[in-house]
Copies of this chain bind each other. A is one copy, B any other.
Amino acid sequence: MNTNNLIGYNYTKGGKAFKAIDPSSGAELAGDFYTVGLNDVDAALDLAEKAFETYRYTDKKTKAAFLRSVAEEINALGDELIERAMSESGLPQARLQGERGRTTGQLNLFADLVEEGSWVEAVINSALPDRTPAPRPDIRKMFIPIGPVVVFGASNFPLAFSVAGGDTVSALAAGCPVVVKAHPAHPGTSALVAEAIKKAAEKHQLPEGVFSILYDDSYTMGEALVKHPKTKIVTFTGSFKGGMALLKMAQQREVPIPVFAEMGSINPVILLPDALENRYAQIAEQYAASIALGAGQFCTNPGLLLALKSEGLNKFKNALSDAVAKINSSTMLTPGICKNYSKLSEEMLQEPGVSVVGRSGGLNTDKSNQALPIIAEVSASSFLVNPKLKEEVFGPYSLLVVADYEVQLQHVINALQGQLTASIVADETDLVKHKSLIQSLTNIAGRVILNNVPTGVEVVHSMQHGGPFPATSDSRFTSVGTGAIKRFVRPVSWQNWPDELLPDELKTGNPLEIWRFVDNKWGKD
């Protein structure tokens, strides 16, 4: 493992050294990582800008082959990658193996997307030379890549939303070079994956600078990356505070740039009465598992359960309490995250009207930074007047809000901020009785779910992972699924150009055989 900063194809050491920490023991892990200086930030972005002028025109077969090679190189890292990621994140082996599969799956999915080619949305209006009073020129439009992207690795997905994760792969697929700021919680995992990308880029002789990775354990370099004039787009997955800081910096630049910040969400789940009455035990098991999954460190963690007072609810609460009690503690990603979780969850329990429905008693005393799942409860009337209760508690915590009647439940939903997901647990009879409540879910969220848990974000064309502010900084885009490529492109029209000077995607005769919208007709003509 080469732990140096990677700028283009060259490793460079950087300044002050830092080490990774194993959160399950608090011990330092092998390997020195070096915070970079501002000149290294310059060097990475200079190379990225130069690489862009070539890479944007790299043919789609080569781009697709490159992405597939990254997947192969990641798989070739074998157990070393999984073991390092386990040590750095505290996440269990099966989860990280699954996450590796998701990461390589994403790379292959975007390779397919790029190779197929229709994602550029080519639209053609042929000339009307005989139109009066003036002829209409030939106009053809498609998406082109915007330029170098800075990707902030996420703490909670050391593989799938980090160095070769969803942001990087969708940017590279679009034709944009990427400079990754490695998350300081898992620099070794990052270094291994970075080397895989480097090998793949070299194999396909891509221009130097198509990928770089820099390390830092403070905020200095992140700021320099966002403010750098050659940075065109920033992606970030993390806290509201972190995301907003980057967004403000980007807006205050001389030339403002987009920041796609996914800033978390409490993912409300509405539990309807008939479903609770008929299936309380199964729902309790399912949701206890979802709340505790990955130590609750998912952006789609169900942090808010909403229900109407009923006999079924009482049975559900008892079942949930039992289910949560049986779940053991698990290691959180970093000591800082764990400390925050303990502090915030205990603070929530001190808020007026909040009581405990259930909590885990299974503390693993052999390990450090353990999070214990907690389910709290509050009345809708207390919830409505207390903004603190609407804040995210990052970890295995969920608040059950109990409404006295349906209108009050609707008020609670209306009072929520933007969310990544909104779920409903309902039987058929519930769906008939609560139509307007169900319809209101699309007002607040990017994904609406029936009788499923919000955790588990499928990487498919139809996925929307993004929601109204403050869930994300821009509800019009997604960070998961093939739609994620749209964050890195803008449309350009070509007016009155001969075929030989048009991109292949726009040429008459459709040499790339992509789907196009030509003179008001969809087809492959």
Please report A residues at the B interface, Cβ cutoff 8 Å. Answer: 98, 118, 123-125, 133-134, 136-137, 139-141, 144, 146, 251, 255-256, 258, 417-418, 431, 438, 442, 445-452, 456, 458, 460-464, 466, 468-470, 473-476, 478, 483, 486, 489-498, 501, 515, 517, 520, 522
Q: Note all chain B residues with C-beta closer than 8 A to A139.
A: 458, 460, 462-463
- A476's partner among B118, B140, B489, B515 (CB-CB below 8 A) is B489
Q: Note all chain B residues with C-beta closer than 8 A to A486.
A: 476
A-B contact pairs, 17 of them (CB 8 A): A125-B458, A136-B460, A139-B463, A141-B463, A141-B483, A258-B476, A438-B501, A446-B491, A446-B493, A448-B495, A449-B495, A462-B493, A464-B491, A464-B493, A476-B491, A478-B491, A522-B522
- A447's partner among B447, B451, B493 (CB-CB below 8 A) is B493
> A520 CA to B491 CA in the complex, in Å?
23
Given contacts A446-B492, A450-B495, A476-B491, contact A520 B146 (CB under 8 A): no
Identical chains bound together, number: 2
The answer to whether B134 and A456 touch across the interface, beta carbons within 8 angstroms, is: yes
The answer to whether B515 and A522 touch across the interface, beta carbons within 8 angstroms, is: yes
The answer to whether B462 and A501 touch across the interface, beta carbons within 8 angstroms, is: no
Q: Note all chain B residues with C-beta closer than 8 A to A134.
A: 456
Q: Note all chain B residues with C-beta closer than 8 A to A497.
A: 448, 450
The answer to whether A448 and B520 touch across the interface, beta carbons within 8 angstroms, is: no
> A48 CA to B278 CA in the complex, in Å?
41
Given contacts A431-B501, A452-B137, contact A124 B462 (CB under 8 A): yes
Looking at A431, A474, A491, the one whose CB has the most chain B CB atoms below 10 A away is A491
Q: Note all chain B residues with C-beta closer than 8 A to A451.
A: 496
Looking at A136, A144, A438, A476, the one whose CB has the most chain B CB atoms below 10 A away is A476
Given contacts A478-B491, A495-B449, contact A141 B464 (CB under 8 A): yes
Q: Note all chain B residues with C-beta closer than 8 A to A490.
A: 446, 466, 468, 475-476
> A501 CA to B438 CA in the complex, in Å?
9
The answer to whether A461 and B492 touch across the interface, beta carbons within 8 angstroms, is: no
Q: Note all chain B residues with C-beta closer than 8 A to A463.
A: 139, 141, 493
The answer to whether A144 and B442 touch across the interface, beta carbons within 8 angstroms, is: yes
Residue of B nearest to A422 (CB): B492
Given contacts A446-B491, A490-B476, contact A496 B452 (CB under 8 A): yes
Question: How far is the CB of A387 from the nearest CB of chain B, in Å?
Answer: 11
Looking at A118, A124, A463, the one whose CB has the most chain B CB atoms below 10 A away is A463
- A442's partner among B124, B462, B492 (CB-CB below 8 A) is B492
Residue of B nearest to A136 (CB): B458
> A456 CA to B98 CA in the complex, in Å?
54
> A498 CA to B498 CA in the complex, in Å?
49
Question: How far is the CB of A328 from the nearest CB of chain B, in Å?
Answer: 21
Q: Note all chain B residues with C-beta closer than 8 A to A442.
A: 144, 492
Question: How far is the CB of A111 from the nearest CB of chain B, in Å?
Answer: 14
Q: Note all chain B residues with C-beta closer than 8 A to A144.
A: 442
> A140 CA to B461 CA in the complex, in Å?
9
The answer to whether A125 and B461 touch across the interface, beta carbons within 8 angstroms, is: yes
> A517 CA to B481 CA in the complex, in Å?
14
Residue of B nearest to A486 (CB): B476
The answer to whether B475 and A483 touch across the interface, beta carbons within 8 angstroms, is: no
The answer to whether A256 and B469 touch across the interface, beta carbons within 8 angstroms, is: yes
The answer to whether B447 and A492 touch across the interface, beta carbons within 8 angstroms, is: yes
The answer to whether B452 and A495 touch across the interface, beta carbons within 8 angstroms, is: yes
Looking at A139, A144, A466, A494, the one whose CB has the most chain B CB atoms below 10 A away is A139
> A494 CA to B452 CA in the complex, in Å?
11
The answer to whether A448 and B493 touch across the interface, beta carbons within 8 angstroms, is: yes
> A468 CA to B136 CA in the complex, in Å?
25
Q: Note all chain B residues with C-beta closer than 8 A to A489.
A: 476
> A136 CA to B371 CA in the complex, in Å?
29
Given contacts A462-B141, A496-B452, contact A475 B146 (CB under 8 A): yes
Q: 3 tightest A-B contacts by CB?
A: A464-B493, A141-B462, A447-B493
